[in-house]
Amino acid sequence: MKRLIVTPTSSTPRNIYPSLRSLPSLMIPPQLVPVTLLHSALPTLFSTSTPLLLRSSLSIDPILTPATYSISTFLSSTVELFLRLPLETVLRRGQVTVLQEFENERLSGAYRNLRSHSRKPSRDEATTRNFKTIVDVGPYKGVIGTMWFIVREEGVSVIGPVAGATKVPQTPKSGFVPKARVRKGQGIRGLWRGWRVGFWGLVGVWGAAALGGAGGGEF
């Protein structure tokens, strides 16, 4: 399924069953076991333990204090989102890395077979040996290593006024205009890319639940 998402439409196979048959194994690769366990266990443990904590320690109950309970669950869902996004980023990079390694090994084997049969590979066969993705995917260096690489090594981040901004900054009275600085790495915000989509999804679900329960009564 991840192959169908990250690869362009020209990459085959596009059906689920042929893609599953093309995998080397249905088991989790050893290098992805830690991040898979963390991604599956930590957010789920946090979301399932929050109602118990609210009732037992804070005396917040969905029947006695419905408004407080609703706001508390919304806040816990937000914390769960920001806890899950960095792990999901690392997991997706690891999955793409595994797919790239397997695909390159398979195509390299097919390339060597063509050479062993004394047939010169065509230009298309010789140039399609890399696993193609829709966007460039960063390397996978383990859980902590990948997070550190995103924050401190990958890309650049601009600090201060951005050149070419639509709004011209006002010159301070001292006459000193701060210059934009370029720092290596995406910074801590690079771990939470796409948080706005998930956050507004939570707002929509919470708002729909609040409006649905505003009428009162069970029928």
Distance (Å, whole) CA 47 – CA 75: 11
Distance (Å, whole) CA 203 – CA 145: 32
pLDDT above 70 for 82: yes
Q: What is the mean pLDDT of the chain?
A: 76
Instruction: Domain ranges for the chain, please list them.
Output: 2-163+181-211
Cα 20 to chain centroid distance, Å, stands at 22
pLDDT above 60 for 166: no
Tokens found for residue 196: 């706005």
pLDDT one-digit tens code per residue, 46-71: 888 888 888 888 888 888 888 888 88
Query: Global pTM?
Result: 0.72
Distance (Å, whole) CA 140 – CA 32: 10
Per the model's pLDDT, the better-predicted residue between 162 and 114 turns out to be 114
Tell me how crowded residue 140 is: count the other CB atoms within 10 A of its CB.
22
